[in-house]
Structure 1
Amino acid sequence: MFGLAWRYRARCVQVVLLQLVLLTLALSGLSLTGLGIDYIGWVIGQRDGAQPVPFPHAKFGVQLPQTWEPLQVLLLIAGFILGFAILRAAFNFLYTVSINRLVQQRLVVDLRGEVYDKLQKLSFRFFDANTTGSIITRVTGDVQAVRMFVDQVMIQSVIMVVSLTLYAVYMASLHPGLTIACLATTPVLAIMSTAFSRYIQPRYAQSRELVEKMVQHFAESIQGVQVTKAFGREQEDREAFVRKNREVLDQQQGIFWRVSLFSPAVGFLTRINMIVLLGYGGWLVIQGELPLGTGLVVFAGLLDQFSGQVNQVATLVNSVQQSLVGARRVFEILDAPIEVSDAPGVVARPRLTGEVRFDRVSFSYDGAGPVLTDIDLTVKPGQCVAILGATGAGKSSFMSLIPRFYDPTGGRVLIDGIDARELRLDDLRRGIGIVFQESFLFSNTVAANIAFGHPDATQEQIEKAARIAAAHEFILKLPQGYDTVLGESGNTLSGGQRQRLAIARAVLLEPAILLLDDPTAAIDSETEHEIFEALENAIEGRTTFIVAHRLSTLRRADFIIVMENGRIVQRGTHAELMQVPGPYLSVADLQLVDRGEASALRREKEGNA
């Protein structure tokens, strides 16, 4: 965090210098107040016939005309005090503006942008390991913890150290012995603060975890509101949120009570200093060893300011622990390794031809059990490969290695004969069109969603892609056609409509490689037929990988691979695999039986009619 603050060192120095000016003006005003009190005492002494003593302001090197009336002198002193007060108000305004520009307009905005930029570079593995609620909390609330460190910890610590030093030096210049006596409790305070800091930190860490769980529950409740209402679980969901919210409250109240007990203890120690001042300092005034105004009164003001700064130790300790716990979570993102990135000497290849080869590829998530094992496969440009397998067979993991969402833990994935890790990541991914199993649409217009990967696409290109995906007709029926703004995640559309927009989005890129992760799962048979009739033109000349389970889709492929437990257990055309006992034939038989039963039932109904 000090390294982060160093980037803004000029503004930090500006803030500290402004605070030093404010400190100087405050001390000047305090000194003039003491001078005024001493002058009043001097006037009274002269009136009562006391022995002449030096004019009190002479110690400042100022000689006023002897003809001045006491009221004139007091008005002059008061004028200077007022002038310093006005200057202090002006510099206080500059200080507030400067600190706001530093921590709110610069640091927080820049840090959020940096965290977001880092999130864009992290692989899917990071998002697999961290919940959405956790990431949102870090980008929003925890970034404020770093702001707190720079503002309320680092800058305030510098200001506190400088202020305490100046106060102590000034007090020592007035009377060293009184200074030592009044500040004797300071070491005790330092020991208490260190012990309390270590004691409170784990509780702040637990508080952050509870807040994160509450945010995660809230996010899941919003995303799963249909399921909650469908099963009539609104009451249980409310109770769960109230319980998590109460856990956060109880934890934070526990922290509050501990901090509330620590602050009075600090205040009590500083009040002891004032008792010492009244006793010892008052005796020094009576003995004539210390003047009343520029001595005891100024010393009392300095000690009060010193105690006020010391009282901030409790707040500072509290801020330190809050900022450390939150900032650690932010830096977990900033320091996370970028597992998938451009290697040195990457090959620029703006246009791919589409040859894909898996060379003894193995893959696992975080060193867990293997997801893919010894995958060997060569796909020529323009070939269409269908992938069949049960849930958990490794189909999606297989597909995710081609655009380098993950890198294989063993073997190589070669694109156009080049290891995918040696290609520029942007070139690789812009040459691949992807339709995921669950289509995600942004809260934007239909046209903007289709053109997401190609923002400069013309309206003609967008409509052409929509026609290929059999989406043009239903888009024209929307209220504003292609300019219709979709709801969050496209929830105003049906599953089939969302999937067709996702296909249009992929086709618009005119990619050399198409990855279709079961794109017809949410589409009825009639729409499926329309889509694949339209996709035949798009697939032609492009290497296509399609995860599918319907025979109507599998038949269209040039060849099929069947996966089980992360391995390819069968490969061949539909006709070839229908002749070989195995998983493919079993799946095909089940679908053919279902179709036969459906046909028989239909014929029976027609006969009864």
Structure 2
Amino acid sequence: MLVLQAVLMGLAVLLVQIGGLSIDVIRYHAEGSGELPELPFGFMFPEAWSPMHQVTAIASAMIFVAIIRATLNFAYAIVAGTLVHHRIVVDLRSEVYAKLQRMSIRFYTDQPAGTIINRVTGDVQATRMFIDGVLIQLSILAMSLVVYLTFMLRIDVGLTVVCLITTPVIWFLSIRFANLVRPMFDESRQRVDEMVLRVAESVEGITVIKALGRQDAEIERFARANDAVQAQQCTVFVRIARFNATIQFLTQVNLVVLLVYGGYLTSIDRLPLGTGLIVFAGLLQQFSNQVSNLSGLAGTIQQSLTGARRVFEILDAPEEVTQCVDPYRPESITGEIRLNGVWFDYSPEQPILRDINLHVRPGQRIAILGSVGAGKSTLLHLIPRFFDPTCGLIEIDGVDVRRWHLKTLRRGVAMVLQEPLLLSNTIGANIAFGNPNATHEQVRMAARLASAHEFIEALPNRYDTMLGEYGMSLSGGQRQRLALARALLTDPAVLLLDDPVSAVDPETEHEMMEAFTAASVGRTTLIVANRLSTLRSADRVIVLEKGEIVQSGTHDQLMRQAGVYQRVAHSQGIEIPL
């Protein structure tokens, strides 16, 4: 690219020189005095050529050079577009998205959804602007200034120095402007983040918004965020426009100096008209245009640096959960789980889990009871290494989970969330999401095991039925069954169920529990639950309170102990044994 740009600059200078030569040739023949100007590269006109032949030859040369320059300009545009838009942007966006997939759940709790979306889309484009509009343009700017300055010095050193007297002022103003607008562009990107977040929240919560009749309020809320972006960008644009006008004025001052001093040199025959004053004017105009581009470049640098910084904050962010050098990859998993002295916190002042000690034998079914914020979901998330504990040890089959191969661990530990995520795809594809190579019969078998086959077969297109976003066309119980089928298709040794029946009616809960009971046969199962109907069927129940295990035992044992379990049973109308 830089080679092509250097050739284009050389051709531009050549065009200016040929144009100046044509003026000197015409002047020579018009005045009939002096010497015929020398041609570039030592060429000479044949003696038999008339003045018209000479001028025609010069014009033909200009057309020939212009055609070559246009062709190379086209080639440069294709090369630059392919490199920047087709390779750099696509590869960078893919790299950012891949890094996001490797980040721990903690990263997503600290970053708003709008910020993450904006960094993958808008900030990657801003980074492209840094490469295309800053790095490449700065290289071109430096190259062109050297080329044009060299040719101007060859024509007349004194004239060059006088005509470029405003250049130091322009550089000083550009540096000052860049420092001024940098924080303004940072604030602009933050306001765009807030606007994108408003859209993401309203789309995800549209049912609640409509149910509460808050459409007008949300429109006004978005309008405020949108107006804040507009106001900030208008402030930036005013500063940029003012700076551009100042730089353009200073570059025009150079042309005024040229006309005064250069005209004087021409009048006393110290500077030729065509190959001297005219060529110098063309070079100075090109030089001034490049300097004027500096004004736009100063704003582009700050805007693109803001986006690039935000992109590389993700790319350079440490990965909290990483895989060891020689990971443990067993052929099979028995499902024994042991937690020894496990602590976890998002901040040292507020630990979520405190000194958890738990041993789950292979195939055992453990229920976890606790109030909101007790640490139930966090406990489940530690087992497949969504987080690493602050201190303590978590082992599966006697091996520290930090030594496990991550994909092997997570294929052997399946999880069904309280709010299952379904994709905009067919039912069959959603079930096969964790095992895309599964056969149709394997998908159907997993659906049967999850008690989902019957309602799927009742749909018009059965397993080929397309689901809308998040599977909102299905009921809560149906979505949970599909999520369970998806988890079972990987044939996990450990099944984690995060309060999967909290939002369903009693009849659906009964059907779901039958499905979960069937699915848990032969698998180590941990289920978060608050209903006694679920808890009493577990082999053992542990009760969490403020991140600590305060009770542990079977349903019958805990019903005879004063404590949290008895209070929960009493609140659900269960008679406490004497």
User: How far has the Cα of 1:54 moved from its partner?
Assistant: 2.6
User: What pairs up with 1:149-298 in 2 under 5 angstroms?
Assistant: 149-298=130-279
Is 1:45 matched with 2:26? no
Corresponding residue for 1:442? 423
* Amino acid across the alignment from 1:576: Q
Is 1:390 matched with 2:371? yes
Is 1:372 matched with 2:358? no
Under a length normalisation based on structure 2, what TM-score does the superposition of the two structures give? 0.98
- Structure 1 residues 405-444: Cα deviation after superposition (integer angstroms, max 9, x where no partner): 0000010001000110011111110001110111110001
| Alpha-carbon distance between aligned partners in 2 of 1:109 and 1:493, rounded to the nearest angstrom | 35
Whether the aligned pair in 1 keeps the contact of 2:363 and 2:525 (CA below 8 Å) is yes
* Amino acid across the alignment from 2:151: Y
Which of 248, 257, 280 aligns to 1:299? It is 280
User: What pairs up with 1:530-569 in 2 under 5 angstroms?
Assistant: 530-569=511-550
| Alpha-carbon distance between aligned partners in 1 of 2:560 and 2:64, rounded to the nearest angstrom | 101
Corresponding residue for 2:17? 31
User: How far has the Cα of 1:400 moved from its partner?
Assistant: 0.5
Corresponding residue for 2:307? 326
User: How far has the Cα of 1:370 moved from its partner?
Assistant: 0.4
Corresponding residue for 2:328? 347
| Alpha-carbon distance between aligned partners in 2 of 1:95 and 1:266, rounded to the nearest angstrom | 28
Whether the aligned pair in 1 keeps the contact of 2:569 and 2:575 (CA below 8 Å) is no
Which of 42, 61, 67 aligns to 1:86? It is 67
Task: Give the secondary structure class of the aligned counterpart of 2:358.
Answer: strand
User: What pairs up with 1:479-518 in 2 under 5 angstroms?
Assistant: 479-518=460-499
* Amino acid across the alignment from 1:91: L
| Alpha-carbon distance between aligned partners in 1 of 2:490 and 2:575, rounded to the nearest angstrom | 38
Which of 400, 407, 426 aligns to 2:407? It is 426
| Alpha-carbon distance between aligned partners in 1 of 2:362 and 2:39, rounded to the nearest angstrom | 97
How many residues matched? 576
* Amino acid across the alignment from 1:578: M
User: How far has the Cα of 1:341 moved from its partner?
Assistant: 1.4
Whether the aligned pair in 1 keeps the contact of 2:477 and 2:512 (CA below 8 Å) is no
| Alpha-carbon distance between aligned partners in 2 of 1:530 and 1:36, rounded to the nearest angstrom | 93
Task: Give the secondary structure class of the aligned counterpart of 2:433.
Answer: coil
| Alpha-carbon distance between aligned partners in 2 of 1:190 and 1:246, rounded to the nearest angstrom | 34
Corresponding residue for 1:580? 561
Which of 434, 437, 443 aligns to 1:453? It is 434
Task: Give the secondary structure class of the aligned counterpart of 1:299.
Answer: helix
Is 1:356 matched with 2:342? no
Whether the aligned pair in 1 keeps the contact of 2:353 and 2:379 (CA below 8 Å) is yes
Corresponding residue for 1:412? 393
Whether the aligned pair in 2 keeps the contact of 1:499 and 1:522 (CA below 8 Å) is no
Task: Give the secondary structure class of the aligned counterpart of 2:288.
Answer: helix
Which of 31, 36, 43 aligns to 1:62? It is 43
* Amino acid across the alignment from 1:295: G
* Amino acid across the alignment from 2:234: Q
- Structure 1 residues 203-249: Cα deviation after superposition (integer angstroms, max 9, x where no partner): 11111011110010011111111111111111111111111111111
Task: Give the secondary structure class of the aligned counterpart of 2:573.
Answer: helix
* Amino acid across the alignment from 1:582: G
Q: 1:59 to 1:239 in 2, by over 3 A?
A: closer
Task: Give the secondary structure class of the aligned counterpart of 2:338.
Answer: strand
Task: Give the secondary structure class of the aligned counterpart of 1:455.
Answer: coil
User: How far has the Cα of 1:477 moved from its partner?
Assistant: 1.6
| Alpha-carbon distance between aligned partners in 2 of 1:593 and 1:402, rounded to the nearest angstrom | 32
Whether the aligned pair in 1 keeps the contact of 2:496 and 2:526 (CA below 8 Å) is yes
Is 1:466 matched with 2:447? yes
Q: 1:454 to 1:469 in 2, by over 3 A?
A: same
* Amino acid across the alignment from 2:299: N
| Alpha-carbon distance between aligned partners in 2 of 1:144 and 1:59, rounded to the nearest angstrom | 45
User: How far has the Cα of 1:304 moved from its partner?
Assistant: 0.5
Task: Give the secondary structure class of the aligned counterpart of 2:420.
Answer: coil
Under a length normalisation based on structure 1, what TM-score does the superposition of the two structures give? 0.93
| Alpha-carbon distance between aligned partners in 1 of 2:108 and 2:43, rounded to the nearest angstrom | 71
Once the two structures are aligned, what percentage of the paired residues are identical? 51
- Structure 1 residues 465-521: Cα deviation after superposition (integer angstroms, max 9, x where no partner): 112211111111222111001000001111111111111111222111000011111
Which of 314, 319, 333 aligns to 2:295? It is 314
Corresponding residue for 2:552? 571
Corresponding residue for 2:5? 19
Corresponding residue for 2:502? 521
- Structure 1 residues 24-50: Cα deviation after superposition (integer angstroms, max 9, x where no partner): 11111110001010001110121xxx3
| Alpha-carbon distance between aligned partners in 1 of 2:112 and 2:265, rounded to the nearest angstrom | 66
Task: Give the secondary structure class of the aligned counterpart of 1:452.
Answer: helix
Q: 1:424 to 1:58 in 2, by over 3 A?
A: closer
Moved over 6 A (4+): none
| Alpha-carbon distance between aligned partners in 2 of 1:536 and 1:151, rounded to the nearest angstrom | 59
- Structure 1 residues 138-178: Cα deviation after superposition (integer angstroms, max 9, x where no partner): 00000011111111101111111110111111011000000
- Structure 1 residues 259-316: Cα deviation after superposition (integer angstroms, max 9, x where no partner): 0000111011111111111111111111111100000000000001100000001110
User: How far has the Cα of 1:368 moved from its partner?
Assistant: 4.2
| Alpha-carbon distance between aligned partners in 1 of 2:59 and 2:550, rounded to the nearest angstrom | 95
Corresponding residue for 2:81? 100
| Alpha-carbon distance between aligned partners in 1 of 2:13 and 2:128, rounded to the nearest angstrom | 30
* Amino acid across the alignment from 1:527: T
| Alpha-carbon distance between aligned partners in 2 of 1:59 and 1:565, rounded to the nearest angstrom | 88
| Alpha-carbon distance between aligned partners in 2 of 1:399 and 1:526, rounded to the nearest angstrom | 27
User: How far has the Cα of 1:20 moved from its partner?
Assistant: 1.1
Whether the aligned pair in 2 keeps the contact of 1:350 and 1:427 (CA below 8 Å) is no
- Structure 1 residues 377-398: Cα deviation after superposition (integer angstroms, max 9, x where no partner): 1010000000000111110001
In terms of mean alpha carbon deviation, does 58-67 or 459-468 score higher? 58-67
| Alpha-carbon distance between aligned partners in 2 of 1:201 and 1:565, rounded to the nearest angstrom | 45
- Structure 1 residues 547-569: Cα deviation after superposition (integer angstroms, max 9, x where no partner): 01111111111110000000000
User: How far has the Cα of 1:593 moved from its partner?
Assistant: 4.8
* Amino acid across the alignment from 2:10: T
| Alpha-carbon distance between aligned partners in 2 of 1:27 and 1:366, rounded to the nearest angstrom | 64
| Alpha-carbon distance between aligned partners in 2 of 1:169 and 1:534, rounded to the nearest angstrom | 82
User: How far has the Cα of 1:60 moved from its partner?
Assistant: 4.3
Q: 1:71 to 1:402 in 2, by over 3 A?
A: same
* Amino acid across the alignment from 1:317: A
User: How far has the Cα of 1:344 moved from its partner?
Assistant: 2.2
